[in-house]
Chain A
Amino acid sequence: MADTDRPSVEITIDQEKCRFSMYDPKGCKRCLQVCPTAVFASRPNVKRDFSKPVEQRVDPTVWVLLVTWEDYCNGCGACLRACPHDALTIEFDGVPVSA
């Protein structure tokens, strides 16, 4: 974003702890659902291959979690509170945000 007075933000997802899943009910996507400014994004883990015939195609049901728009983070901490596995850390200019 254009606002240069804002501190720079770093959001890290601890992949060991994160149990993100778009479709598996045992998995979780709470940070994605709760973020009010859409910092997180998700996409399939493989690209659909349309060169294969239709019968052989597998629709991707495994999606991965990415941090795409971290500069939209305003430090509300909703994702930190929502994460059941404590997999997120947010730092503004090195200062961590606590849940």
Chain B
Amino acid sequence: MCKLCTDHGRGETWYLNFENYLFRKVFPTLEGQEAAKAKMAGTFADTEWRYAEKEFVRNPTYLRQRASSGAGGQLVTMEEALRILALAEEATRREDSLVVVGHCPCKQVYRGARDYTCIGFGMPVTMAMEIAYGRLPKEGLTEFGGAEWRTLRHGIRKGAKVPLTLDEAKGLLAEWERRGLWHLVVGRGRLPLIEAICNCERPYCTWWRYRDALGINDYCLKGHYIARIVPERCSNCGACQEQCQWGCIHTSVWAQSTSIDLTKCFGCGICRAVCPHDAIEMAPRASVPTARDLW
């Protein structure tokens, strides 16, 4: 069990515990809800600021303090991401909130371009949109003065956050995985409340950067699964090695072998998605003795 499961799972994997999707369960009192809502306006308003300014994004004290007060993230496989979205959808039905997709702030801050790969759900993102725009996507939400949205793709081009169905999510997640984006389930400061799935990559993912540059693992924990090659189907083509974001796949042309370093594997599943021979499987981290406690 990883730290987030121990702290927030209450006996289950933390992102599979349905209570962690319910704003009113995590904040049962009205004061708690109002306080969370007030805090939300602030963090929503200046995400880009905090990702670009050294005093925040390179400040281990600030980041560790945020982590201990309820921020954290973990990589998940596509199957887990879909389970998360199913739980999120059920929560949105109960609480009259939304599952939306919008642009990834990390890629905007670090590359100056919009990639619409950020899936947010539940009361936090819904309330944040009410605070920010005064209205919700159903009524034609726009950002930066764009046009009314009609289809998912049209809306995304105009810069909206648009509601997302589970079927649409399945297609998007598969497409993203094939082009090397991992899925990171995150709590943005209100853990155990789970708020989003980031679909991002090196070097843009800010939360990966916290781990890589500052050694703060809480924001980007390795997943509960780990990739394993099925030798009978592997042709040593090297496609997995090309896309591995963590540098843990090694191939030898001479030895005709491809191997995954299980001590380094983060279990994102990108290698599996790009393998042309279906030669990679995701196994539970707990089943691999060396890796079971490597988070």
- Which A residues are closer than 8 A to B by beta carbons? 1-2, 22, 29, 32-33, 36-38, 40-44, 47-50, 53-54, 59, 61, 63, 66, 68-69, 71-72
Contact = CB atoms under 8 A, between A and B. Distances in A.
Given A43-B52, A66-B52, A50 B41 contact: yes
B45 interface: yes
B229 to A, nearest CB: 28
Contacts, number: 72
Contacts of A2: 215
Q: Classify the secondary structure of A's interface with B.
A: loop
B144 A41 contact: no
Interface stretch (B130-138, B162-170, B242-250, B273-281): B130-138
B53 interface: yes
- Where chain B touches its partner, the secondary structure class is helix
Nearest to B40: A50
Contact of A50 (B49, B108, B111, B132): B132
A48 B44 CA distance: 9
Contact of A40 (B45, B53, B110, B134): B110
B57 A33 contact: no
Most buried by B among A29, A48, A49: A48
A43 B48 CA distance: 5
Contact of B45 (A1, A41, A50): A50
Contacts of B112: 22, 29, 32-33, 42
A48 B45 CA distance: 6
B209 interface: yes
A45 to B, nearest CB: 10
A61 B113 CA distance: 14
Contacts of A49: 45
B112 to A, nearest CB: 4
A48 B204 contact: no
Nearest to A44: B48
A32 B52 CA distance: 12
A64 B215 CA distance: 28
A53 B41 CA distance: 13
**Top 6 nearest A-B pairs by Cβ distance?**
A54-B134, A43-B52, A41-B52, A38-B203, A38-B110, A32-B112
Given A43-B51, A50-B45, A69-B209, A38 B111 contact: yes
B46 interface: yes
Interface in B52-87: 52-54, 57-58
Given A29-B112, A33-B112, A59-B143, A66 B203 contact: no
A68 B203 CA distance: 13
